[in-house]
């Protein structure tokens, strides 16, 4: 099995190589799901490829985010760059980007990201049919389900599976929580991890959604039995030391130098959370609500005493590593102290006892755990740092913006203010820029001499710095040097018109509430195999336009039920199907012979750009396609323009918002349970099969959005539940702010 390690920067890349990785995955500054990582420039990627290939190690580049319409040209340039550098594979999420790579850059090997949500054998087979050589399935699959992928009898690609690292609470690629809260989308690489925060539920405040870290070192045999090709370590935001240590432990375990028990225990030191086996062995006990007992257990506190402000404890442990933090936890988890290496001294007294001196209080009989900090290094979007220099030259002041990609100067110097009563100190510049983020750049330090500025100069400096960050640096973007071929330019241009400008209004309703909907055009959600209700649907299809929406997450057992449902409903030739997964298309079209003319694409296959529209219409024959609910108004406007009435666009104007889908089971996640964060964001639990859907209490509404006035949509969708509750608060999601 391949050992695949993460690299968020060149130092981590080298650590992975030195520690036995067979392959390394990494990201560029563009279109990768770990934008806060330092990532790689074209130059550092080129150097890293040479070193890796000299050692027989493969390099995979992640382009695993959704692509806005305005980003298509740059995305094409990135693909051109990767093809020229001969990377070993590209990991992709966006269907439009996939289509672009497959068509215009055929020498690139393509892998489908876990963000794509492959969770059944029909989806895996369809992935291979469209040319993917490997898929990274949803992390929610059990070992039994991974085995069923392989034993399905279908022709599927290689399987890559995560074995170590952080876990998301929500299904990857379908989480809208960060986007709903603040416009920073997990599907665009800038997740703010609001799921890790504390939420109030029935008066109790806990991080209910904070997942344990994954550790499958004890399950290498099961992974081999499941015919997994590649074992993937999560951690592009982690330090080189962490990457090297984790890679080395797994390498030793795979080579038989370390047994599975030893590997598991060694890994316990490398996480700030409890560890578990994820979804591979079950759906319960997956969250780390209390966060008390994590790390590698060392021993116990035998006694404590104080000397002035200093705290001492007698321990029954041996000397620890200088890089290790110690955690002290009472048996009841009521008291927790974390002492980092810089604030901790461990000595042996004359009697041979281990004495610790600490600046934090320690309780007698506490359990002692060892943790090696990951020491994340962030310098990506919202974390890219620049320094501002104000240098005095004679009587003038020169302004320079200093970044790791170069120094950019204001060509017009400022006259120095001499009289104190007419000027302010440069701190005023710092105060205005400190919390201002421009194109992901944030001020680090201000360097200046003892000078004065006028208030007008302060405002001018703030404006010119913002301009440099927004425009000048962008103009120095290395992608600007890449020239696209005429064939690529032709491929990415807007689509040709081909549809009539008709408009249909549809209403979405739950399967169990069919009688509540009076609309002539109905989309039915959460259908199950219930013959009585299915007969009602068949009867309705003779009077109304009926579309069956297939739930966006479908495991192997769900596909069996789906096959039965569709086979039963095919007594009526008038029913359409909203598919939300490429596996739905494969089953319905290729196995059940449902014509593409009766298939529409839902939010699970929503199109962020016109190339996604082009892919689904040309390759799958589907001509009614959905606009993502989280897309901002600028993106929607350009998507409509680029579509040019080529396919039918489905636009949701009023809806509940599923901010998270999760397979995690807990007594806290009962039907209707409500959770509120510290800024008042509220969502509640709705259950379907074994999936918990966390639905925002406020509704999404596009009503009154001026930026969308005049745009033409073929199908306009509202939800019956929202129509029934006009008193609920309605929010415009990202329609009046930028989607990052």
Q: How far apart are CA 294 and CA 521, in angstroms?
A: 53
Q: Are 502 and 536 in contact (CB under 8 A)?
A: no
Q: How far apart are CA 397 and CA 351, in angstroms?
A: 65
Q: How far lies 384's CA from each of 117, 650, 711, in Å?
A: 30, 37, 36
Extended beta strands in 64-157, E state: 89-92, 110-112, 134-135
Task: Give per-10-residue mean pLDDT for the chain (740 aa).
Answer: 96 97 95 76 95 98 96 97 98 98 98 96 98 98 96 97 96 95 91 94 95 96 97 93 95 93 88 90 89 74 85 75 73 63 60 73 83 58 73 84 83 76 84 82 86 88 88 78 96 88 91 91 97 97 97 98 98 97 98 98 98 98 97 97 96 98 97 96 96 98 93 95 93 91
Q: How far apart are CA 414 and CA 504, in angstroms?
A: 60
Residue with the two structure tokens 């209080």: 361
Query: pLDDT at position 381, please?
Result: 40
Q: How far apart are CA 637 and CA 41, in angstroms?
A: 32
How big, in percent rounded to 5, are the helix, strand and coil portions of the chain? 35, 25, 40
Query: pLDDT at position 378, please?
Result: 44
Tell me the backbone φ, ψ of residue 697, rounded to 5 degrees.
-65, -40
- In this structure, what token pair is assigned to residue 126? 């369809």
Q: Which domains does the chain have, with CATH numbers?
A: 2-167+212-271 (3.20.20.70), 169-206+661-697 (no CATH), 296-371 (2.40.30), 384-481 (no CATH), 499-657+700-731 (3.20.20.120)
Query: pLDDT at position 502, please?
Result: 79
Query: pLDDT at position 373, please?
Result: 66
Q: Which residues pair with 389 in a beta bridge?
A: 400, 447
Q: Are 552 and 543 in contact (CB under 8 A)?
A: no
- In this structure, what token pair is assigned to residue 185? 């989308």
Q: How far apart are CA 437 and CA 402, in angstroms?
A: 15
- Return the ∠ at Cα 236 (arms to 233 and 42), rounded to 5°: 120
- For the entire predicted model, the pTM comes to 0.87
């Amino acid at each position: 099995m391949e050992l695949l390690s993460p690299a968020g920067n060149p130092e981590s890349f080298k650590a992975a190589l030195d520690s036995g990785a067979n392959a390394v995955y990494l990201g560029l500054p563009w279109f990768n799901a770990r934008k806060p990582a330092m990532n790689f420039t074209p130059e550092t990627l080129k150097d890293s490829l040479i070193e890796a290939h000299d050692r027989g190690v493969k390099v995979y580049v992640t382009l695993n985010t959704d692509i806005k319409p305005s980003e298509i040209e740059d995305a094409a340039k990135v693909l051109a760059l990767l093809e020229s550098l001969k990377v070993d594979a590209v990991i992709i999420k966006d269907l439009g980007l996939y289509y672009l790579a497959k068509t215009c850059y055929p020498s690139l090997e393509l892998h489908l990201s876990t963000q794509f949500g492959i969770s059944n054998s029909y989806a895996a087979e369809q992935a291979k049919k469209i040319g993917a050589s490997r898929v990274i399935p949803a992390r929610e699959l059990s070992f039994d389900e991974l085995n069923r992928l392989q034993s399905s009898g279908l022709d599927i690609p290689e399987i890559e599976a995560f074995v170590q690292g952080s876990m998301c609470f929500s299904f990857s690629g379908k989480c809208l929580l960060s986007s709903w809260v603040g416009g920073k989308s997990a599907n665009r690489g800038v997740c703010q991890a609001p799921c890790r925060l504390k939420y109030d539920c029935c008066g109790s405040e806990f991080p209910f959604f904070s997942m344990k870290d994954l550790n499958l070192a004890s399950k290498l045999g099961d992974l081999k039995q499941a015919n997994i090709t590649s074992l993937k370590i999560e951690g592009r935001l982690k330090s080189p030391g962490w990457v090297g240590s984790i890679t080395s432990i797994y390498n030793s375990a795979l080579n038989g130098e370390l047994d599975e028990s030893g590997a598991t225990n060694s890994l316990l030191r490398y996480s700030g959370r409890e560890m578990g086996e994820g979804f591979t062995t079950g759906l319960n006990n997956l969250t780390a609500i209390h966060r008390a007992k994590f790390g590698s257990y060392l021993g116990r506190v035998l006694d404590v005493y104080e000397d002035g402000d200093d705290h001492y404890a007698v321990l029954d442990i041996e000397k620890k590593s200088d890089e290790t933090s110690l955690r002290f936890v009472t048996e009841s988890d009521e008291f927790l102290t974390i002492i980092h290496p810089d604030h901790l001294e461990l000595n042996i007294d004359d009697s041979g006892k281990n004495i610790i001196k600490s600046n934090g209080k320690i309780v007698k009989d506490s359990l002692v755990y060892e943790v090696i900090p990951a020491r994340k290094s962030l310098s990506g979007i919202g974390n890219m740092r620049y320094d501002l220099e104000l240098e005095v030259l004679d009587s003038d002041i020169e302004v320079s913006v200093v970044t790791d990609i170069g120094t950019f100067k204001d060509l017009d110097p400022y006259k120095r203010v001499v009289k104190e009563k007419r000027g302010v100190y440069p701190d005023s510049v710092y105060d205005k820029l400190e919390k201002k983020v421009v194109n992901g750049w944030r001020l680090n330090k201000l360097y200046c001499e003892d000078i004065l500025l006028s208030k007008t100069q302060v405002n001018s400096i703030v404006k010119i710095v913002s301009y440099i960050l927004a425009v000048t640096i962008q103009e120095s973007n290395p992608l600007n040097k890449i020239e696209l071929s005429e064939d690529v330019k032709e491929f990415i241009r807007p689509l040709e018109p081909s549809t009539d400008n008709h408009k249909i209004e549809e209403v979405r309703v739950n399967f169990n509430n069919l009688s509540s909907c009076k609309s002539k055009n109905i989309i039915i959600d959460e259908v199950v195999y219930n013959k009585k209700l299915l007969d009602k649907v068949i009867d309705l299809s003779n009077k109304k336009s009926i579309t069956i929406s297939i739930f966006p997450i479908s495991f192997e057992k769900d596909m069996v039920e789906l096959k039965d449902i569709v086979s039963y409903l095919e007594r009526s030739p008038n029913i359409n199907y909203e598919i939300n997964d490429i596996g739905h298309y494969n089953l319905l079209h290729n196995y059940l012979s449902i014509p593409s003319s009766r298939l529409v694409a839902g939010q699970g296959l929503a199109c962020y750009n016109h190339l996604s529209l082009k892919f689904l219409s040309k390759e799958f024959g589907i001509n009614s396609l959905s606009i993502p609910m989280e897309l901002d108004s600028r993106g929607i406007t350009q998507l409509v323009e680029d579509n040019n009435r080529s396919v039918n666009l489905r636009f949701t104007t009023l809806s509940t918002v599923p901010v998270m889908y999760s397979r995690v089971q807990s007594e806290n996640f009962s039907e209707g349970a409500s959770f509120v964060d510290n800024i008042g964001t509220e969502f509640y639990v709705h259950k379907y099969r074994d999936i918990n859907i966390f639905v925002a209490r406020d509704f999404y509404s596009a009503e009154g959005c001026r930026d969308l006035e005049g745009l033409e949509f073929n199908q306009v969708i509202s939800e019956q539940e929202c129509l029934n509750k006009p008193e609920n608060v309605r929010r415009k999601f990202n329609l009046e702010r930028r989607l990052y």
